[in-house]
Chains A and B, each alone.
Chain A
Amino acid sequence: MNLTRDRLHSFGWAVCLVVCGALFAALTFRVNAVKSQVRLAERQIVALKQDKMLLDTEFETRANQYQLRSLNDLEFGYQAPAAGQYIEGERQLAALGKPRGPGAPAPIMVANADPLPTANFPAMISPLTGKAMAAEIPKGGAKKIAVSTSLRDRLSRVDPRPAVLASALRE
């Protein structure tokens, strides 16, 4: 088979065309593969954002104003702070904390906050027994302090308290 120069030329062009075509096809496939990865990532983003919205909504629902109010009424009994609990400005703040040096003249008191009353929080009431938590002493004396060293030991320890509560409820 004798190849003339023209034939060799056209064969070369054909090979070139095939190689270019193959490269083009490979590039197209690669582009599409990346695009599907992007779409997959997008779907994951959408799913995650929806999850976030669901959790956010659940949080808002569980912590809505009615729930917070009943929780406060039942457990904490917090009240709005009174005027005496606010500090007027930096001067009053400074007057509260600065110790008087030895032999120093008495500071000029422009205004002063009333000393805070001793913390007088309402006692924690157990929702099951209706008694103050401090009044609940488990049967068989006060609970011993956990002395187990490993976490597994502490977790596997059986708490006697639920049984006491159940008996209190039966009463």
Chain B
Amino acid sequence: MTSITVSTAIATGRVELANVRRTALLTAQFRALWVIGGFAMIALVALLRIAFLGVAQPASPGDDLASALLPARGDIVDRNGVPLARAFPGIALWYDPTAMGEGAPLVHGPRAVAEALVRVFPDLDVGALTARLASGKPGYLRRRILPEEANRIRDIGEPALEFPHETERFYPQGAMAAHVLGYVASDGHGRVGMEEVFDKKLTDAATRGAPAVLSLDTRVQGALEDELSKGMASSNAKGAAGIVLDVETGEVLALASLPTFNPNLIDQGGAGNIFNRFTNQVYELGSVMKPITVASAIDNGVATDMARRYPAGAPLRIDGFEIHDHENFGGSLNIPEALIHSSNIVTAQIGDQVGGERLRATMISLGFNQRPYIELPARGFPLWPKGEWARITTMTVSYGHGLAVTPLHLACAYAALVNGGIWRPATLEKVAPGVAVPGRRVWKASTSARMRQLLRLIVEDGTGRKANAVGYRIGGKTGSAEKPGNGGYNKTSVVATFAAAFPMDHPRYVIIAMLDEPQGTVATSGQRTAAWNAAPIVGRVVPRIGPLLGVMPDAARDIDISDLAPLVGNGNGE
């Protein structure tokens, strides 16, 4: 019995041993399987990674390059591709007090560092800078510095002075054409000029790669600003403005308003000059409006005979008002003489004959009752006589008073006056060659042809003689309007304008020079009228820009005014 028990016990023990061995074997196999599985997994991941790298990794190289070269904000260029505004990687000077970790932020102490910085930037104040550095607040010490200045500051050996590279808006031409371009504010959006108009286009990644092309010509703009500033200085004027406009397309080749500002640095002084005199300020422009009245009279069949004489010997009395000339030109004048001498009395009579309704319709078709047409956001609203025009209103408007428009209105009207009678809006965007810009007909082509003769006559024999650059066939009209002041017109503050076009045998460009409150100086022979200050500006600008614009001077060529010349008695002018 016992032996049976023992053998049973041995048998049971063997079975258990076999079980243990089998379990251990299973465990080992299971573990080996895990390890193999692990390795297989790693191999699979590696293979997948290789496949990913080989197939899908780099995007097409063209995209990379394009995105790296895409400017932060699109460039603005002139009509010949000269950059006027571009995104520029500038260097700033930043103060980071935490750069050295714990302890004092500066190695040399605030006073020593401030003195070293003032040696680089002499316009900084040592005391203020010391207080700034000692305060331990991070911030810009200077928004834009030159690379050589950065090198000199590095020599100070202060880790707290850092030079972050920032994309800045840079205007290589400085203050030139500032009113057209505008500037970019610290929020990254454009202000004032085309920077504001093109803001979306210049910031959108899809469109900012290509530069925005303006109609401006840098050389013409430079010449216009140069001569305007010289004219402004010589006549001691408060301000000046001017334009060069293509009469066929309405493209603005140059537009200036002085004093100007520097869009690279908008400071207190510059901020005061942001106002655009040419597109935003309305003026009663005076005598430069007379050709518009005369054109309206010729076009409506009121003035058919250029030799017809109008009484001019005595002031004109209408509804209790008196219309004077600045001097007496004799008992009577015909239309060419009235324009040459700039007679208010005769022009008022012509305006009266045209009538309020027709003169008003002409002014409306020239857009004088609306803001001027141009892309710029700064556009002034004209002071337009409301309702039906009374007889006296028509007469004062006929010689440029009682209606205040911007000089840009006048430029577009003169373009229509000389280009065959078609008014077109002004534009600052380049018009592709060969594209016909739509416009509306204001005058007949025959009227325009007659006006070209009359305008040329004014420069040959009349008040515009100082603008007569030999060979350029300039025609134009002067205007010296007294500015409205307290209870009437102020005799000493005038707006002197010369509106012209050239060459008169085939007009291509309108050019206007305007001086705000010029004074009589030695340089202007003591006179403050446009004949002495604004007309010479045009006479100097045209020879500078004409050849650049394809208008070559030719003294042997001119518009035929032989039918009008005998009508002028004594072409002495004012």
A contact residues vs B (CB 8 Å cutoff): 25, 28, 31-32, 35, 38-39, 42-43, 45-46, 49-50, 53-54, 56-57, 60-61, 64-66, 68-69, 80-84, 86, 88, 111
Contact = CB atoms under 8 A, between A and B. Distances in A.
24 contacts: A28-B50, A28-B53, A38-B61, A42-B61, A43-B68, A53-B86, A57-B83, A60-B172, A61-B170, A61-B172, A61-B174, A65-B173, A65-B176, A66-B176, A81-B547, A82-B471, A83-B470, A83-B472, A83-B555, A86-B552, A86-B554, A88-B554, A88-B556, A111-B556
Give the most central of B57, B82, B89, B172: most A CB within 10 Å: B172
Contacts of A38: 61
Contact of A83 (B61, B174, B553): B553
Nearest to A32: B53
Interface of B: 50, 53-54, 57-58, 61, 64-65, 68-69, 82-83, 86, 88-89, 170, 172-176, 218-219, 221-222, 225-226, 470-472, 540, 543-544, 547, 552-556
Given A46-B68, A65-B176, 17 more contacts: A28-B50, A42-B61, A53-B86, A56-B83, A57-B88, A57-B172, A60-B82, A60-B172, A65-B173, A65-B221, A65-B225, A66-B176, A80-B544, A83-B471, A83-B553, A84-B470, A84-B555
A53 to B, nearest CB: 8
Contacts of A64: 172-174, 176
Given A49-B69, A82-B470, A82-B553, A31 B54 contact: yes
A42 B218 contact: no
Nearest to B172: A60
B554 A66 contact: no
Given A60-B83, A80-B543, A82-B470, A66 B553 contact: no
Contacts of A28: 50, 53-54
Nearest to A85: B553
Nearest to B62: A42
Contacts of B58: 35, 39
B426 to A, nearest CB: 22
A22 to B, nearest CB: 12
Contacts of A50: 89
The 7 closest A-B pairs by CB, nearest first: A83-B471, A65-B222, A83-B553, A60-B172, A80-B543, A61-B172, A46-B68
Contacts of A82: 470-471, 543, 553
A31 B51 CA distance: 12
Contacts of A88: 554, 556
Nearest to B225: A65
A83 B470 CA distance: 6
